[in-house]
Amino acid sequence: MIVDPDHFERAGSAFEHDPAHGGIPPGQVPSGLYSAVHRAAREDLANPQHFLNRELSRLAFNTRVLAQARDPNVPLLERLRFLTISCSNLDEFFEIRVSRLQQQVVYGLAAKSPDDRSASEILDLVAAEAHKLVADQYRVLDDELLPQLEAAGIRLLREAAWTDAQELWLQEYFNSDVLPVLTPIGLDPVHPFPHVQNKNFVLIVSLDGADAFGRRSGIAVVQVPRSLPRVLRLPPGADGYTRDFALLSTVVQAFIGDLFPGMTIVGCAPFRITRDSDLFVAEEETDDLLEALKGELNRRNDGDAVRLEVGEQCTAEMARFLLAQFELTEAELYRVPGPVNLHRLAALIDLADRPDLRWPQMVPRIPAVLAGKAMDGKGGIFRVLRDTPVVLHHPYDSAAPVLEFVRQAATDPEVLAIKMTLYRTGPSSPFVRALIDAARAGKDVTAVVELRARFDEAANIDLATELQVAGANVVYGVVGHKTHAKMTLVVRREGTKLRSFVHLGTGNYHPVTARLYTDISLLTSELSVTTDVHAVFSMLTGLGGVRSLKRLLHSPFTLQSELIARIDAEIDAANAGQPAKIIAKMNALTEPAIIGALYRASLAGVHIELIVRGICCLRPGLAGLSENITVRAMVGRFLEHARCWWFATSGELFCSSADWMERNLHRRVEIAFPIDDAESKRRIRAQCLDGAVADTSCSWLLQGDGSYVRSAAELPAFSLQDALLRGEIA
């Protein structure tokens, strides 16, 4: 096992600087006077009791996702989707977060989390919460979703419910499409326990009798290839049902005897192993990051086992045998009363072909300023942006103008250069295709491809290679820092001068997630912004000192300090008796120095509204510390992905690719960009911030103990996402 020290979050916090200031870094102590109780609280800001645990907060997010699977206001098949999302999220949690904690325990690393827990203590807490979450997932499936799906005419049949005709059809399907690709491995001295790939569906079979060679090992392992569909649509039954389905796992178990002729099946149980899937590349020691990552990708399915899931058919003896094979403990065993991979049920959503049980189709809007000639593919979008910036709120506003911006840049003869960051683009990306066309047309194309975007490494290696073949300049960012900023720079000749245009966004250049995630885009030619973007690209691709930026905030250099400066400005305003308020929306809040600054602001009387979708380590509502802070989380039809922050004293509204996390502020290249146009600022604040604070349908309120409760039932129901879909918040 290779251990990367950078994998582990800093155990020490950013407060450990100056004891005279209660651990607050010099220059960050607010002006003004505090009451004695507030001064005492300020001096104890780094108290571990003031921090929620990051891993438990992540599991709490999955619990909120699972709650959507129980919500009767959500269409039935979408409820099934939320169940599968909660399962895939949990998989990734084990692959990345739990595996890191286990490494810390194995190698005796003494680092503690900001809430003063060791890795071993966190693992114990995680195991208890994860077992509870898994039990809830199967309870939701068996007690709620499957009965309601059957009532709607969609049946997922167990073997006992098959008709004779269905069983015959499935037997023929097994013989023709499944049996030929299965390879049973009988365990004996010549055939040791086989390598089991990460998250693959596997059966362990207990046998009685001797085979053709007289062997009596009694145990075989059967891995089912990923190429086989996990959900099968059955022919109509005699009772008229036309939407009967069976799981491949059920089918294989039903006919497993055909793999072992002449032997008796004593027991058969499915199991699944989750492995450490984090990648490690010593960037400072490699000459070619792309080639190094290619080699490391082969290890993703071979990492150490971190979790064993077994079906309810698995005997205690079989379970102990499997635990021994994978060197796991009882705490890492998850016995489930159903399929060992609920995420595979997502296939049923499309196979059912029931649009009445899904979200109504939406048609994203294109702002009037971009309608018509701006979208004609002939450079019209640049004529619009020359005179006015455009702010888009996806998915309510279409992402088509962003793609059109890049496509027109690729074909416009007046465009000389295009520079773009690529983090996640998806397969066959139209953005990448436009860049290839531009490079082949002789334009200077630079793509900053983040090869280390987790679980997109292979796809990004492919697109980087394709861009290089087309003649584009491809760079991989900065050693030790992921390039997470979303930005495109277009340089265009206009008469005798050059003018630059940029797109800045909070989300990826990915056409699928653009329809599912809420994000903000800015398209502009404002000189101070385009100059800053050019400077950031120069730092990414070239060498030299830190460039001074006029409008953008830039991590790992100025973003954290500028955020704290703006929080301090609100503290100064509150101490002067002026209105002081912060509203901030993000995916996660974990960075200790930022949390400390927010606590100081609360002590000074600053009113703080935080909308944090996922992990939050700040404890709101603690007397004498954070009673002026409210934290809510939103879970709805769309993934709340936009990061935007408003500060009352300066009136500034920033949007960003960055969360308030250690990795975003210290180990990534991120930008935050201002929304200056008064009307756009009003609209984004109403649609992203004030609307989120007012939401009572999709929001959960974080309590000081780390639990979440639904918004007060006595309040009038208001769903921000529904209101935006109806166009009610302009």
Give the active site residues: 484
Assigned token pair, 198: 């990460």
What contacts 670, CB < 8 A, 6 or more positions away?
Answer: 484, 485, 554, 555, 559, 656, 657, 658, 664
Enter the DSSP assignment of 631. E
How far is residue 503's CA from residue 486's CA, in Å, rounded to a whole number?
A: 8
Instruction: Work out the angle between the directed axes of helices 380-387 and 400-411 (0-180°, nearest 10).
Output: 110
For residue 138, which amino acid is it? Y
Q: CB count, 10 Å around CB of 578?
A: 11
How far is residue 298's CA from residue 304's CA, in Å, rounded to a whole number?
A: 14
Among candidate residues 11, 7, 9, the one with its CA nearest the CA of residue 588:
9
Among candidate residues 78, 162, 93, the one with its CA nearest the CA of residue 127:
93
Among candidate residues 280, 276, 279, the one with its CA nearest the CA of residue 332:
276
Assigned token pair, 32: 């003004």
- Give, for 146, the enclosing helix (H) or strand (E): helix 146-151
Is cis: bond before 75, omega within 30 of 0? Answer: no
The per-residue DSSP string of 56-95 comes to HHHHHHHHHHHHHTT-TTS-HHHHHHHHHHHHHHHHHIII
Is cis: bond before 26, omega within 30 of 0? Answer: no
How far is residue 321's CA from residue 522's CA, in Å, rounded to a whole number?
A: 57
Residue length, the chain?
A: 730
For residue 40, which amino acid is it? A
Assigned token pair, 275: 């492995």
Whether 664 contacts 555, CB under 8 Å: yes
For residue 327, which amino acid is it? E
Whether 410 contacts 444, CB under 8 Å: no
Whether 41 contacts 625, CB under 8 Å: yes
Among candidate residues 107, 99, 87, 91, the one with its CA nearest the CA of residue 123:
99
How far is residue 399's CA from residue 579's CA, in Å, rounded to a whole number?
A: 37
How far is residue 224's CA from residue 230's CA, in Å, rounded to a whole number?
A: 10
How far is residue 86's CA from residue 80's CA, in Å, rounded to a whole number?
A: 10
Among candidate residues 426, 467, 462, the one with its CA nearest the CA of residue 445:
467
Among candidate residues 518, 612, 614, 620, the one with its CA nearest the CA of residue 63:
614
